[in-house]
Amino acid sequence: MDFSYDNEQTALREAVAGLLTKAYGGDERRTVTRSEPGFDEATWGRLAEMGVLGLPFAEADGGMGAGPVEVALVATEMGKVLAPEPFVETVVLAGGLIAALGTETQRTELLTAIAEGTSIVVLAHAEPGLRWSPSAGSVTAEQSGDSWTLTGVKEPVPHGARADSFVVSARTADGATQLFLVGGDAEGLTRTGYRTHDGGRAARVAFAGTPAELLGEAGGDRTADVERALAMARIAYANESVGAMDTALAMTSEYLTTRKQFGVTLNKFQALTFRAADMYVSLELARSIALWATMVADAGGDVVLAADRARLTTSRAGRHIGKEAIQLHGGIGVTAEYKVGHYTSRLTAIDHQLGDGDWALGRLAAGVAGHESVDPLS
Amino acid sequence: MRLQLSPEDQSFREEMRTFFTREFPESIRDAVKAHRELTRDQIVESQRVLNKAGLAVPHWPVEYGGHDWTPLQRHIWHEEMQAAYVPAPLAFNTSMVGPVIAAFGTQEQKDRFLPATANLDIWWCQGFSEPEAGSDLASLRTSAVREGDEFVVNGQKTWTTLGQHADWIFCLVRTDPHAVKKQRGISFLLFPMDSPGVTLRPIELLDGGHEVNEVFFEDVRVPAENLVGEENRGWDYAKFLLGNERVGVAPVGHVKRLVAEAKRHAGEITVGDSTLLADPLLAARIAELENDLLSLELTALRVVANSADGKPHPASSVLKLRGTELQQAATELLVDVAGPDSLASFATEGSDVPEWARVVTPQYLNFRKASIYGGSNEVQRTIIAGTILGL
Ligand SMILES: Cc1cc2nc3c(=O)[nH]c(=O)nc-3n(C[C@H](O)[C@H](O)[C@H](O)COP(=O)(O)OP(=O)(O)OC[C@H]3O[C@@H](n4cnc5c(N)ncnc54)[C@H](O)[C@@H]3O)c2cc1C
């Protein structure tokens, strides 16, 4: 086991950090997230130029042939500055499904476009009331001859208003979950976008007999594929949240050494410095498990289980650090004008995106009888 | 010791419940129920309805609209009001400046301000905190210099809640910059928000809402008759104000409402072939929260019953500390019940995500404030350790 990055990975991390600090080192994020599409197209283009948007895709599909470790370090850097670009959503989630299931034509076409930054593709999977299920709910797919149409509502779909195209999960007549590709300008497609509390974007995406193309070859149920893609995205989010926690704690420590009350800086109150120390403990434990889950993914291990473990710990740590970061700042922490609260907001969003801590705990609890102890080195 | 309410208190409770649920405007209760932000007009209307029924300022002196209720009756009044989704009367008026004027004001001030304050004809805001004076309130620097029969006020307040709606501000100002103890040089001053030299800048909070402001004073001229009590004794009045209220310190009714709401929604969300409410983890979490809340409510009742001497009971710090923690836990529970739907926080009409699920995360983020304002939870711990435990 080795937690360190190789030279190439270190160089990638430095390059991404440099790019993102330039983009979001100051107050830029607030301006960017206040206007559409909620992220910076120029930054997206620069990430593409750097090769970041094609990292996990095969070279034959227009990608860089890198893996989960590279994805994780990009996600961590994005988390540090709360970059609002849809990296995990487009590259890891939608891109991951296309890479895993798409036909050769679909892969070369769509993955190249994602990698070049010319197309934002997102997964339209969530449905109101459907709690983090890997199967489709009420959106249905109807086949006539070789062609398919979709009907129903997906919501909230991350960046659903801006997306150029969608990977959509739907139920076929036999009750199976299938995945489809739908262009943003497809007939009978309506989307209504809105802001999310963390400054991001989501949309209600409605299909009314909307023409769709099957992703990959016709086959059985795609639930397990969705589950796997969601797990890869959970691991990426775990790393993104560690980046966000890292900055939230750094800002808090910095604030404690500068804010004065009662004639002294706040770090003179041990009641507060101990709280920061506890945040550090949470952060480091979360970091370890996020990196471990990343290595499991890299080694081709059980990503679903690893993602659940990472989710539980990062969810708990994210809540702890998010709440304390605000509390130790006092009033300024709950304002939109000061950055620290945005970290809490983002951590809250990530937590509820693909299954929260208690949800992961429920799944893990169901499996405790199946092993004597947990060994990270298997 | 006795568990039951006396027959008298039972009928008192019935009376309160009937009024709040039958006679209070339904539209306002519905807005509170849906977590919608109330308009200024709704808040004013609400308080006037309460005041007309003699229910806005029960803890004030009888001659100014109060009642000789027992502390238990006041507790019942407060709980029934919250249970019925009736907005509490504006705290700045009824719990803060009103009791101070009643206790320390001149007869003229009482006649001029108290009826208008009870009826929300004057909307007050609280000008205590400053950018450099938060937990360390006594270090405030906004100055008031006596010139003839006027004070000239310069400086800045911040976090002024609903200052944008306010007609008047009650302000702590420094009148003696040379006082040996910084608490000794502070006075309690009242003036209109439209006085020349007062400007307001809105502060946006994490939920996107506008409920607090910065307020700037530049050579604001205030007639000396608007000084409350004695010059340089303002700190005593501020302490009286902050420690005055024990009833309603713990937002028990509000938390109960939030938990009940979470249970209702969880019961309607399907998970597998059951509901979310049947999920053992969620059910255990709710059971624990309900039990915590029960012990808090009982403590509130105990503290209220022991406060007959009119002095602040130090255990009210327990109520503030634990009350805000449970309030925050309940807002978090609602976000978790909404789950993935909670992401649709600013969805507009036409969204398939129900309205309640859209407001829960902004509400959760907003309520991080509860452990910060009104004496942060660290300040409450300092009081418990120092005043109660003598540490
Ligand atoms: C939404 C909101 C509404 C408000 N409304 C009003 C209003 O209407 N009028 C008004 O006057 N004020 C209002 N306040 C201000 C509120 O009272 C202050 O925010 C509060 O006193 C804390 O001050 P601060 O924000 O400057 O934090 P700081 O005092 O800077 O505190 C920062 C952190 O340090 C901790 N801390 C500070 N000193 C100590 C110590 N000695 N030991 C241990 N911990 C310590 C605090 O608890 C906090 O966690 C409001 C605040 C908020 C957030």
| B58-105 residue pLDDT tens | 999 999 999 999 888 998 999 999 999 999 999 999 999 999 999 999
As for how many domains chain B has, the answer is 3
Q: Taking CB atoms and an 8 Å limit, are A155 and B344 in contact across chains? A: yes
Question: Could you say which DSSP state residue B169 is in?
Answer: E
B240 neighbors B97 (Cβ within 8 angstroms): no
Residue A21: is its pLDDT beyond 60? yes
> Do both B148 and B217 map to the same domain?
yes
Q: Which two tokens stand for residue A163?
A: 């997306």
> Do both B271 and B358 map to the same domain?
yes
Is position B199 within any domain?
yes
Is position B244 within any domain?
no
The stretch B335-346 carries a mean pLDDT of 96
Residue type, B301: L
Work out the mean pLDDT of chain B and round it to a whole number: 94
Contacts of A279 (CB under 8 A, 6+ apart): A245, A249, A252, A320, A321, A324, A325
Long-range contacts of A13-21 (CB under 8 A, 24+ apart): A13/A73, A13/A77, A15/A50, A16/A47, A16/A50, A16/A52, A16/A73, A16/A74, A16/A77, A17/A77, A17/A80, A19/A43, A19/A46, A19/A47, A19/A50, A20/A77, A20/A78, A20/A80, A20/A81, A20/A83, A21/A81
A191 neighbors A315 (Cβ within 8 angstroms): no
Mutating to test ligand 1, I would choose from B95, B123, B135 the residue with most ligand atoms within 8 A of its C-beta, which is B135
Residue A128: is its pLDDT beyond 60? yes
Q: What residue's CA is closest to ligand 1, atom 12?
A: B129
Minimum-distance CB partner of B365 among A129, A153, A197: A197
Q: For position A218, what pLDDT does the model report? A: 84
Q: Which residue of A has its CA nearest to B207?
A: A197
Beta strands in chain B, from DSSP E residues, in sequence order = 124-127, 143-147, 150-157, 168-174, 186-192, 198-203, 212-223, 227-228, 270-271, 274-275
> Do both B255 and B380 map to the same domain?
yes
> Do both B371 and B254 map to the same domain?
yes
Q: End-to-end alpha-carbon separation of chain B, Å?
A: 32
CA distance A70 to A52: 9
Residue A372: is its pLDDT beyond 80? yes
B212 neighbors B159 (Cβ within 8 angstroms): yes
Q: Taking CB atoms and an 8 Å limit, are B135 and A132 in contact across chains? A: no
Nearest CA to A77 out of A11, A9, A3, A16 is that of A16
Is position B116 within any domain?
no
CA distance B60 to B40: 24
Is position B238 within any domain?
no
Q: What residue's CA is closest to ligand 1, atom 25?
A: A331
**DSSP 3-state assignment of A151?**
strand
CA distance B40 to B48: 12
Count of A–B CB contacts within 8 Å?
Answer: 159
Is position B349 within any domain?
yes
Ranges for all domains in chain A classified under CATH 1.20.140.10:
224-366
The stretch A295-323 carries a mean pLDDT of 98
CA B162 to ligand 1: nearest atom:
8
In the set B211, B231, B245, B297, the catalytic residue is: B245
Q: Does A173 touch chain B (CB under 8 A)?
A: no
Q: For position B307, what pLDDT does the model report? A: 58
Q: For position B244, what pLDDT does the model report? A: 67
Cα atoms in the 13 Å half-sphere on the side-chain side of B123: 18
Residue A154: is its pLDDT beyond 90? yes
Q: Domain A7-119: which topology? A: Butyryl-Coa Dehydrogenase, subunit A; domain 1 (1.10.540)
CA distance B306 to A189: 65
Q: Taking CB atoms and an 8 Å limit, are A327 and B366 in contact across chains? A: no
The stretch B323-345 carries a mean pLDDT of 97
CA distances from B258 to A344, B32, B364 (A): 21, 12, 11
Residue B308: is its pLDDT beyond 60? no
| B351-389 residue pLDDT tens | 999 999 999 999 999 999 999 999 999 999 999 999 889
CA of A108 to nearest chain B CA: how many angstroms apart? Answer: 32
Question: If 0-12 CB within 10 Å is exposed, 13-18 middle and 19+ buried, where does residue B13 land?
Answer: middle
Work out the mean pLDDT of chain A and round it to a whole number: 97
Report the separation in Å between the CA atom of B75 and the middle of ligand 1, taken as the mean of its atom positions: 27
Report the separation in Å between the CA atom of B135 and the middle of ligand 1, taken as the mean of its atom positions: 5
The stretch A77-106 carries a mean pLDDT of 98
Indicate the pLDDT class of residue A1, thresholds 50, 70 and 90.
confident
- The residue assigned the tokens 């487009």 is A90
> Phi and psi at residue A152, in whole multiples of 5°?
135, -175
The stretch B4-26 carries a mean pLDDT of 95
Is position B45 within any domain?
yes
Which residues contact ligand 1 via a Cβ below 6 A? A 259, 261-262, 266, 269, 271-272, 327-328, 330-331, 334; B 126, 128-129, 134-135, 159-161, 212, 369, 372-373, 376, 378-379, 382
Q: Does A331 touch chain B (CB under 8 A)?
A: yes
**The pTM is what?**
0.97
A103 neighbors A216 (Cβ within 8 angstroms): yes
Q: For position B78, what pLDDT does the model report? A: 92
CA distance A287 to A296: 14
Helix axes A223-258, A68-81, angle to 10 degrees: 40
> Do both B184 and B219 map to the same domain?
yes
CA of A331 to nearest chain B CA: how many angstroms apart? Answer: 6
The stretch B117-139 carries a mean pLDDT of 97
Q: Which two tokens stand for residue B303?
A: 């503290």
CA A259 to ligand 1: nearest atom:
30
A263: chain B residues, CB-CB within 8 Å? 136, 139
Is position B202 within any domain?
yes
For the stretch B348-359, what's the b/e string if a residue is b when 16 or more beta carbons lie within 10 angstroms of its beta carbon? Answer: eeebbbbebbbb
The helix or strand, by DSSP H or E, that contains position B331, with its residue range, turns out to be helix B316-338
Q: Judging by DSSP bridges, how do beta strands B168-174 and A189-195 pair with one another? A: unpaired
CA distance A59 to A65: 5
> Do both B254 and B380 map to the same domain?
yes
Q: Judging by DSSP bridges, how do beta strands B186-192 and B270-271 pair with one another? A: unpaired
> Do both B226 and B258 map to the same domain?
no
Residue A378: is its pLDDT beyond 90? no
SS3 content of chain A, % helix, strand, coil (to 5): 55, 15, 30
> Do both B266 and B381 map to the same domain?
yes
The stretch B348-352 carries a mean pLDDT of 92
The DSSP result for B59-103, as a single string, is TS-GGGT-----HHHHHHHHHHHHHTTPPPPPHIIIIIIHHHHHH
Q: For position B243, what pLDDT does the model report? A: 75
B108: annotated active-site residue: no
Provide the percentage of residues in chain A whose pLDDT is more than 70: 100
The stretch B172-198 carries a mean pLDDT of 97
Ranges for all domains in chain A classified under CATH 2.40.110.10:
122-220
Nearest CA to A351 out of B342, B265, B347 is that of B342
In sequence order, the β-bridge partners of residue A174 are none
What CATH number does domain A122-220 carry, 3.30.70.1400, 1.10.150.120, 2.40.110.10, 3.40.50.300?
2.40.110.10
Taking the domain A224-366, which CATH number applies?
Answer: 1.20.140.10
CA distance B55 to B78: 10
> Do both B79 and B138 map to the same domain?
no
Mutating to test ligand 1, I would choose from A262, A272, A334 the residue with most ligand atoms within 8 A of its C-beta, which is A272
A196: chain B residues, CB-CB within 8 Å? 343-346
What is the span of the domain harbouring residue B158? Answer: 124-232
Minimum-distance CB partner of B336 among A192, A349, A358: A358
The stretch B100-122 carries a mean pLDDT of 98
Q: For position B57, what pLDDT does the model report? A: 96
Q: Which residue of A has its CA nearest to B345?
A: A196
Minimum-distance CB partner of A335 among B205, B282, B378: B205
Report the separation in Å between the CA atom of B138 and the middle of ligand 1, taken as the mean of its atom positions: 13
The DSSP result for A319-367, as a single string, is HHHHHHHHHHHGGGGGBSSSSHHHHHHHHHHHHHHS--HHHHHHHHHTT
Residue type, B315: A
Q: Which two tokens stand for residue A260?
A: 């004065």
Indicate the pLDDT class of residue B309, thresholds 50, 70 and 90.
low
Is position B241 within any domain?
no
Question: Could you say which DSSP state residue A27 is in?
Answer: S
> Do both B257 and B327 map to the same domain?
yes
Could you tell me how far CA A140 lies from the centroid of its own chain?
26
| B270-287 residue pLDDT tens | 998 999 999 999 999 999
Q: Which two tokens stand for residue B302?
A: 């105990």
Question: If 0-12 CB within 10 Å is exposed, 13-18 middle and 19+ buried, where does residue A1 land?
Answer: exposed
In sequence order, the β-bridge partners of residue A210 are A150
Indicate the pLDDT class of residue B258, thresholds 50, 70 and 90.
very high
The stretch A264-293 carries a mean pLDDT of 98
Q: For position B302, what pLDDT does the model report? A: 86
